[in-house]
Amino acid sequence: MAQLWQELEQKSQEQRSKEQNPVAWRAQLFAALQHWQFWAIAGILLLLTLWLCWCLRKRRYEEDSSSEEEEQEEQNEEEEGNELANDLARHFEEHIQWPDQKLFTKGESVLRLVNTLILVARQVLSDCSFPGLGPRFDIGSAMEGWSPYEENIIYRVLVSLTPPSGHAFLPELCNQGEMPERKFRIRVELGCAYVMEDDMLCCLHHDEEEQRRNMGPSLLQTVCTGSYLDVQKTARRFHQLVKTCWAVLPYSHWWQLTRLPCSRSCKFKMAKGEEKILTEIMLGVQQGDSDIFMSSQASEALFTPSTTWTLSCAVAEAKFFELTTRHVPDGSFHFRCLQLCTRVLVCTGFSKYILKTVVMHLLNTTPLSGWRRTHFLERLDDIMRYLCHCLEEKRLDHFFFGNEKIPEEIVLPPALQRAEPFNLFQHLAQDPDAHEQAMREFKELQHRLTTQLFFQGY
């Protein structure tokens, strides 16, 4: 019985052992499975981390590479743009019909001639019958270097006049307040020059008979009307002086001198075979020590009295361009812009002086470093935009009157410095029809400039 019980006990234990083994196995298997899943998940997370790091690194590399490529592309585009601008500027230089280099050579020839004439004339003038000859100044588009014409170019020079010994020039303003064409009369007064060099006789303290016998006619008798210096008489006598001096110059052996009709200046033509040079010598009296003159040039009025001398800023303008040319990167590039614009002005109401004023304002208010060949079209666009704005506003200020930004090297009389800016488009503000016509002509001007650039240039 006891043996049977032991056998049953043993079988019962074996049965429980069999029932418990799957549970233990499953527990162990589950524990092992949980351990494997952890490492699998850890491995997957590690792989994901590595993949994300690789992606971020790749993206950063691509961004850096893209940034470098963009910078390189921008640099290449900029270089290509500069090359294109240079090519375009070079094209205009080569294909647009700029005035020939001979024009500048002719200008230098004119200067040498005038200098020689002045030297000889000073030797000839030994009495008080004509004003003294001061320095000469190059004026006008041909001398400044931007003449729009290819033929019949007139080279202009202004010769300053000084009162001879025993005389004084006293300017009198004729039209107080009218600008910019202020008009003057120059009253000639005899002064005391009793003690004079080289034993010259005094024009004041000797009787007329003695003056006539020893000094010849006085200034008041030869080139004055009443007590005022006469423009026409002075110009006529100066031309006689040039003719006299010409006969002793070496130029007379090769060149033929022909006087051209002009009542207020000395205008002549020099010819040698088929070559000819047109020259005009203006006369002027300097205002103090300034760069402003009272000139023999006629005013815009229909009639200018012979004793009237007009205010001229031509010397100051030439000096401004000379100062500017020293700082413009490509030398005379700004003259090319002005030259091209003025070439298309024919049969319009715009004068060369209007565009010259626009360019002077731009040169005085914009960095000169931008006036280079690569900016050719940009500067032309600036000129047209500035002119258009002035037309729309019906205002274009004279460059010198009341301009506080004038370079200090240019000397202006106090009256000009204090003057209110003068509007060169005042007539447009007063006449609506004239303004409408000016706007139409501006559009025509733009069309002509475009045609000049992109049709005749190619």
Say if 1 falls within a structural domain.
no
Neighbours of 442 (CB within 10 A): 19
Q: 294 with 146, same domain?
A: yes
CATH number of the domain bearing residue 257:
3.30.460.90
Q: 293 with 344, same domain?
A: no
Q: 245 with 374, same domain?
A: no
- Is it the case that residue 7 has pLDDT exceeding 70? no
Say if 232 falls within a structural domain.
yes
pLDDT digits (tens, 9 = 90+) for 259-272: 999 999 999 999 98
- Is it the case that residue 69 has pLDDT exceeding 70? no
SS3 of residue 371 by DSSP: coil
* pLDDT score of 108: 83
Say if 185 falls within a structural domain.
yes
Domain boundary among 289, 312, 335: 312
pLDDT higher at 208 or 153: 153
Q: 184 with 238, same domain?
A: yes
Q: Which of 215-224, 347-356, 393-402 has the highest mean pLDDT?
A: 393-402
Beta strand pairing call for 275-286 and 154-162: parallel
Domain boundary among 268, 294, 312: 312
Confidence of residue 29 (pLDDT cuts 50, 70, 90): very low
Average pLDDT over residues 407-418: 91
**What does each C-alpha distance from 394 to 314, 434, 437 come to in angstroms?**
24, 11, 12
Q: 206 with 235, same domain?
A: yes
* pLDDT score of 374: 81
Dmax (CA) for the chain in angstroms is 191
Q: 189 with 321, same domain?
A: no
* pLDDT score of 133: 94
* pLDDT score of 75: 56
Say if 16 falls within a structural domain.
no
Say if 297 falls within a structural domain.
yes
Q: 161 with 117, same domain?
A: yes
With a pLDDT cut of 90, the percent of the chain lying above it is 40
Average pLDDT over residues 339-366: 90
Confidence of residue 280 (pLDDT cuts 50, 70, 90): very high
- Is it the case that residue 190 has pLDDT exceeding 80? yes
DSSP state of 248: T
Task: Report CA 293 to chain centroid distance, whole Å.
Answer: 23
Q: 245 with 330, same domain?
A: no
pLDDT digits (tens, 9 = 90+) for 73-108: 555 545 554 554 455 555 555 545 555 555 567 778
* pLDDT score of 19: 46
- Is it the case that residue 395 has pLDDT exceeding 60? yes
Q: How many helices (H) and strands (E) does the chain have?
A: 13, 11
pLDDT higher at 337 or 225: 225
Q: 343 with 418, same domain?
A: yes
Q: How many CA atoms lie less than 13 Å away from 278 in the CB half-sphere?
A: 11
Q: 454 with 361, same domain?
A: yes
Q: 241 with 350, same domain?
A: no
Say if 406 falls within a structural domain.
yes
* Contacts within 8 Å (CB) and 24+ apart, 217-221: 217/127, 217/129, 218/128, 218/129, 218/190, 219/128, 219/129, 219/130, 219/131, 219/163, 219/164, 219/167, 219/188, 220/188, 220/190, 221/129
Residues 215 and 198: beta-carbon distance below 8 Å: no
User: For 125-169, where are the alpha helices, taking DSSP H only?
Assistant: 140-144
Say if 74 falls within a structural domain.
no
Domain boundary among 255, 289, 312: 312
With a pLDDT cut of 70, the percent of the chain lying above it is 68
Say if 378 falls within a structural domain.
yes
Q: 160 with 184, same domain?
A: yes
Taking the C-alpha atoms of residue 112 and residue 133, their distance in angstroms, rounded to an integer, is 16
* pLDDT score of 458: 36
Average pLDDT over residues 104-119: 84
Q: Which of 37-51, 166-180, 334-348, 424-438 has the highest mean pLDDT?
A: 424-438
Mean pLDDT lowest among 210-224, 290-304, 419-433:
210-224
- Is it the case that residue 194 has pLDDT exceeding 80? no
pLDDT digits (tens, 9 = 90+) for 17-27: 544 454 444 44
Into how many domains does the chain fold? 2
Confidence of residue 56 (pLDDT cuts 50, 70, 90): low
pLDDT digits (tens, 9 = 90+) for 141-159: 888 888 877 778 899 999 9
Domain containing residue 286: 101-312
CATH number of the domain bearing residue 455:
1.10.1410
